[in-house]
Structure 1
Amino acid sequence: MSQSTTSSRSLSDLTELDQAAFVQYLDGIFEHSPWVAERSWNARPFNTVDELHKQMLTVVDQASHEEQKALICAHPELAGKEAEEGSLTAHSTGEQKGAGLDQCTVQELERLRSLNTRYRERFGFPFVIAVKGLTRHQIMDKVDARLNNDTETEFSTCLQEIGKIARFRLDALFASPN
């Protein structure tokens, strides 16, 4: 389903969809993890975006540790290989571009990639942050600061950030046309 087709649906329309269409409509809300929408379907109807978001977060909270880690690992590194190759999802491309990560100088790109590498080596998963409203400099400072956390704290922080990302994406999906 194309973005132009999906953007014309309302939240009330979502309730009427079969499970496959529901999952397809919510594709990308949780990066490469359609299981979140799939498991949320039975909780319909959703009267508000808040209800839908809360249910999706409940699904993530109730998932196994392995599923949660796979969800974290489904996120691309910031200004990483996927960005360089142009293989980011449309959501991730827009979010990274909005934070100015596509405008990094050579030195900034080197710093960010070094931070990404250190972070992945330390924790075993990519750094995840909701970049909306942040500059590339703030993002790099946050990676640097979060390198001081323990693995459990970072795992939890990544899941919280994924929840924020999902909310931004849901808000954009169900935004009233201007």
Structure 2
Amino acid sequence: MSDAQFVQIVGAVYEHSPWVAERVVSQRPFASAEALRSAMRRAVQQAGEAQQIKLVRAHPELAGTAAARGEMTAASTSEQGGAGLNQLTPEELARLQSLNARYSEKFGFPFVMAVRGHDRQAIFAAMTQRLNNDRDTELRNSLEQIDRVVSFRLNDLISG
């Protein structure tokens, strides 16, 4: 495939951030999906804090306004739905919105979690616990969670 096709297809595993694929396209061919994921992870690590924060901010809040307006990517919609975030009770939604607001206010970016394989209670627990962290720790946690999301999405892309 062309460089542009690669960036369009593979770049989609990072939420609204094709720059990651753009930074690794010249390293093709990759020996495996893991080699590709590792190259993209290195690109994110080397990007610098401002670009990393922009990457984290490209992710929607869990069950946030983008979800309510139907503006999330298909992958995010599926992942959040799989975790039951599209079936919250009014009380759970209010709790999640409060946690989202507190988290965003404290850290300056949305809470990111690879929700695949987790239920609502595990997500609430993780959000509550992570609110106790400092900003540097949370930026690292968010990038680690993004890497997990990318791993799932890349595996889906390749196996699909």
Is the TM value for this pair above 0.5? yes
Say what the alpha-carbon RMSD is for the aligned residues: 0.8
The residue aligned with 2:64 is 80
Displacement of 1:43 in angstroms is 1.1
Deviations 1:106-133 (A, max 9, x none): 0000000000000000000000000010
Specify which of 85, 107, 112 is matched with residue 128 of structure 1. 112
Specify every segment of 5 or more residues in structure 1 that has no aligned partner in the other structure, as ranges: 1-16
Displacement of 1:64 in angstroms is 1.7
Alignment pair present for 1:53 and 2:41: no
Aligned pairs (5 A) from 1:30-41: 30-41=14-25
Aligned pairs (5 A) from 1:105-144: 105-144=89-128
Alignment pair present for 1:21 and 2:5: yes
Displacement of 1:26 in angstroms is 1.2
The residue aligned with 2:77 is 93
Helix, strand or coil at the partner of 1:26? helix
Deviations 1:24-55 (A, max 9, x none): 11132010000000111011111211000000
Between Structure 1 and Structure 2, whose CA radius of gyration is higher? 1
CA distance in structure 1 between the partners assigned to 2:59 and 2:79 by the alignment: 12
CA distance in structure 2 between the partners assigned to 1:165 and 1:91 by the alignment: 10
When normalised by structure 2's length, the TM-score is: 0.98
Helix, strand or coil at the partner of 1:20? helix
Give the percent of matched residue pairs that are identical in Structure 1 and Structure 2. Answer: 49
CA distance in structure 1 between the partners assigned to 2:10 and 2:67 by the alignment: 23
Q: How many residues align?
A: 160
CA distance in structure 2 between the partners assigned to 1:107 and 1:150 by the alignment: 28
Alignment pair present for 1:166 and 2:150: yes
Moved over 3 A (4+): none
Helix, strand or coil at the partner of 1:102? coil
When normalised by structure 1's length, the TM-score is: 0.88
